[in-house]
Amino acid sequence: MFKIAVIPGDGIGKEVMEATINVLDALNLDFEYTYGDAGDECLEKTGTALPKETLDLIKNSDACLFGAAGETAADVIVKIRQEMKMFANLRPVKSYPNTNSLFKDVDFMIVRENTEGMYIADEEKETEEGAIARRIITRKAEERIIRYAFEYAKANNRKKVTAVHKANVLKKTDGLFKEIFYEVAEEYPDIESEDFYVDATAMYLITNPQSFEVIVTTNLFGDILSDEGAGLVGSLGLIPSANIGEEGALFEPVHGSAPDIAGEKKANPTAMLLSAVMMLRHLNLTDEADKLDAAILKVLDEGKYLTGDLGGSSNTFEMAEAIKNNL
Amino acid sequence: MFKIAVIPGDGIGKEVMEATINVLDALNLDFEYTYGDAGDECLEKTGTALPKETLDLIKNSDACLFGAAGETAADVIVKIRQEMKMFANLRPVKSYPNTNSLFKDVDFMIVRENTEGMYIADEEKETEEGAIARRIITRKAEERIIRYAFEYAKANNRKKVTAVHKANVLKKTDGLFKEIFYEVAEEYPDIESEDFYVDATAMYLITNPQSFEVIVTTNLFGDILSDEGAGLVGSLGLIPSANIGEEGALFEPVHGSAPDIAGEKKANPTAMLLSAVMMLRHLNLTDEADKLDAAILKVLDEGKYLTGDLGGSSNTFEMAEAIKNNL
Ligand SMILES: CC(C)[C@H](C(=O)O)[C@@H](O)C(=O)O
Ligand SMILES: CC(C)[C@H](C(=O)O)[C@@H](O)C(=O)O
């Protein structure tokens, strides 16, 4: 039996979560779901966007499914990542059939460092005249994420890892990142290694996206490049993510709470469902993960039950139901 | 008479510069060109990548045409920008016919702050264990660049300015940037204003690039988004840029020295020629700017004399010659 923390959050987070739990139910998993609160509505109700009980719930679960938070997203999700030491943020960028993907054969994994960089919230408002933010790069955290990327490549039969940085300008911080990257790369002689500047990478993602297999990068660059990846494959509604740490793991769509369409059942449930697939794999429920993954692909491939963002006319629950029927 | 500093630099910088000066010659401009050295070869020859004479040359000129620098690019170009207080970096992203542009009607201007942010090179290697970089955002510099963006919009009949930041995470630095943006926006009631997170923008540039008119952002975000823009319109070989300051102005292609094709006359001269167009406009040589701009467009439109990156078989000088013949 696995204990699963379920945090729907705000806006479309609730809809895609409900649809996803519906589908998971059909897999007859030995899951005990416990629901927790976080986000804008929670702030309004309880005075805090991330109550201690919610953090404790995540801590005491085997995995967490997270929907989306609204305006408070940064306070909720960045805090969870840091408190739970979820150091690896995995964001697969993959083109699916019947989507607006610009390319047919894109399939790479972004491995984003999730605990430091510009996300340490170490800022000072000097005077009225200016402010300073600090970007921290430590050997410990970067070595861990780089090794994670190579291990991921090894386990998933990927042939290349690409490090992304701006070491020509950030000579000490990203210089260190690049140095560590090639140190770790030596331990994996069978996997090709290369490095690019973040600006060049932002271009190559468009001009040569098929060349990427695994990208490893620091926190903010991973944030930017994964949204660019979402654009590349046509919709944020298709990109799941995993936040993996020593004390817990959380799975969430890369999209936000989309207040403009919240409650209208228009949201694409795919990213949340693919996040559930990542969770199943994380819990070593490989057969179930494969089954759900195949059902999602089938429904996309058939193109009969698609949400509006994919040019279809099904609602969130109809698309999820179609996936359920294909399990 | 205008004094023009010409710095070809390294690699393809030399070829595209030679081709560009050839074309400019046909415009019968009252220009006095003085050549200066900078970059990798200069470092090898003189022991410094940016000699004081070169900086002085730029200072004593009305404008500078810059080709590209190799490995030393950061030391050369970032230093020139800072020493000369070239606070505005203008990077037009525009789709041209007969290119690999993903879209037909993209046409926006990125106005990148060019003096601070992560580019202040204020880093410390703490211990072996880590390093810190500082990101500085001052009211003075950001207000200046934001006002520049609105003035640009006004002068060029653009209807909207978009601010790009990460104020949900960088609450103090980018919070300040966003605050200043809306303060300045109030002075321009006829121009629409909006703001997005940098990650979302990286996606929108692909999913909705036609919606952008003028983007204003901090230094590193501008660096990343402009290369993404280059990918969008199909080639770095098409993106020029202007670095504008109180004490001088420098015009350079966004591409680098491309050592892999250097000396082979394969480089696309368009970005360098479009940089020259920006220089002509800056010097108020509007007729000449329009003429050169039209000739470049004509050659792209006809599609007979294109370099390899655009699927043609002309070399750098043949394409430039065709442009010259269309003046
Ligand atoms: C909500 C925000 C703080 C977050 C981030 O920047 O990490 C989001 O953009 C993401 O990518 O998960
Ligand atoms: C060479 C490098 C330092 C430079 C930058 O990052 O500004 C380049 O990428 C650019 O965009 O002009």
A199-246 per-position pLDDT tens digit? 999 999 999 999 999 999 999 999 999 999 999 998 889 999 999 998
The percent of residues above 90 in pLDDT, for chain A, comes to 94
Mean pLDDT, 10 residues at a time, chain B of 327 residues: 98 98 97 98 97 97 97 95 96 93 94 95 81 95 98 98 97 96 98 98 96 98 97 90 94 95 96 98 97 98 95 97 97
Tell me what pLDDT residue A100 has: 86
Q: Of the residues A76, A111, A114, A223, which should be mutated to test ligand 1's pocket, given the most ligand atoms within 8 Å of the CB?
A: A223
Residue B51: CB partners within 8 Å, gap ≥ 6? B37, B38, B42
Q: Which residue of B has its CA nearest to A224?
A: B199
pLDDT at B61 (0 to 100): 97
Q: Which of B82, B106, B129, B132 to mutate to test the interface with A (most CBs of A within 10 A)?
A: B132
User: Do A172 and B124 lie within an 8 Å CB cutoff?
Assistant: yes
Cα distance between residue B34 and residue B66, in whole Å = 12
Please give the structure tokens belonging to residue A297.
């692909």
Q: Which B residues in the span 171-210 are in contact with A, Cβ-Cβ below 8 Å?
A: 171-173, 175-176, 198-200, 202-207
Catalytic one among B10, B96, B119, B266? B119
- Shortest-distance atom of ligand 2 to CA A199: 9
> Are B121 and A224 in contact (CB < 8 Å)?
no
Tens digits of residue pLDDT in A126-173:
777 899 999 999 999 999 999 999 999 999 999 999 999 999 999 999
The verdict on the CB of residue B110 being under 6 Å from ligand 2 is no
Angle between helical axes of A12-25 and A270-282 (0-180°, round to 10): 50
Instruction: Please tell me if the CB atom of residue B78 comes closer than 6 angstroms to any atom of ligand 2.
Output: yes
Min distance A301 CA to chain B CA atoms (Å): 21
Residues 36-95 of chain B with CB under 8 A from chain A are: 73-74, 78
Which pLDDT score is estimated for B129?
86
Question: What are A76-90's pLDDT values in tens digits?
Answer: 999 999 999 999 999
* Residue ranges of B 121-180 with Cβ closer than 8 A to chain A: 121, 123-125, 128-140, 166, 168-173, 175-176
Q: How confident is the model at residue A247 (pLDDT cuts 50, 70, 90)?
A: confident
Query: Is A169 in Cβ contact with B74 (below 8 Å)?
Result: yes
Say how far apart CA B189 and CA B203 lie, in whole Å.
28
Q: What separation in Å is there between the alpha carbon of B267 and the centre of ligand 2?
A: 19
The predicted structure's pLDDT at residue A154 = 98
pLDDT for res A123 = 86
- Tens digits of residue pLDDT in A96-126: 999 989 998 999 999 999 999 999 878 888 7
- The domains located in chain B, with CATH, are 1-86+239-327 (3.40.718.10), 102-232 (3.40.718.10)
Residue nearest to atom 11 of ligand 2 (CA): B223
Is A199 touching ligand 2 by the criterion CB < 6 Å? yes
Instruction: Please tell me whether residue B30 adopts helix, strand or coil conformation.
Output: coil
The pLDDT value recorded for residue A226 is 95
Q: Chain A to chain B, count of Cβ pairs less than 8 Å apart?
A: 163
Chain B residues touching residue A134 (CB < 8 angstroms): 132-135
Please indicate whether residue B76, judged by its CB atom, sits closer than 6 Å to ligand 2: no
pLDDT of residue B321: 98
Phi/psi-derived region of residue B134, left when phi > 0, alpha when psi is between -120 and 50, beta in every other case? beta
Residue A155 CA to residue A136 CA, distance in Å, equals 29
Q: How far is B246 from chain A (nearest CA, A)?
A: 21
d(CA A35, CA B263): 64
Q: What is the pLDDT of residue B235?
A: 81
DSSP letters of B207-258? H-GGG-SEEEE-HHHHHHHHHHHHHHTT-GGG-EEEEE-SS-EEEEESS---
Q: How far apart are CA B135 and CA B169, in angstroms?
A: 13
CA A73 to centroid of ligand 1, rounded, Å: 7
Residue A73 Cβ < 6 Å to ligand 1 = yes
What is the structure's pLDDT at A124? 85
Q: Are strands A107-113 and A88-94 parallel, antiparallel or unpaired?
A: antiparallel
Stated as kind and residue range, the H or E segment containing A197 is: strand A192-197
As a residue count, chain B comes to: 327
Supply the pLDDT for residue B95: 95
Per-residue pLDDT, averaged over A255-265, amounts to: 95
Is residue B4 within 8 A of residue B62, CB to CB? The reply is: yes
CA of A272 to the centre of ligand 1 (A): 16
Amino acid sitting at position A65: L
Confidence label for A251 from pLDDT (cuts 50, 70 and 90): very high
Ligand 2 site, residue B74, Cβ cutoff 6 A: yes
- B182-216: pLDDT as tens digits: 999 999 999 999 999 999 999 999 999 999 999 99
What is the distance between the alpha carbons of residues A143 and A163, in angstroms, rounded to a whole number?
Answer: 12
- What pLDDT, on a 0 to 100 scale, did the predictor assign at position B157? 97
Please indicate whether residue B107 is annotated as part of the active site: no
Prediction pTM value: 0.96
Report the separation in Å between the CA atom of A178 and the middle of ligand 2, taken as the mean of its atom positions. 18
User: Which residues in chain A have their CB less than 8 angstroms from residue B204's CB?
Assistant: 231
- Taking contacts as CB-CB distances below 8 angstroms, the residues of chain A near B232 are 206
Atom of ligand 2 nearest to the CA of B81: 7
Residue of A nearest to B208 (CA): A231
Q: Between vectors from CA B152 to CA B149 and to CA B158, what angle results, nearest 5°?
A: 100
For residue B189, the model assigns a pLDDT of 97
Q: In terms of DSSP H, where are the helices of B4-99?
A: 12-25, 40-46, 52-59, 73, 79-83
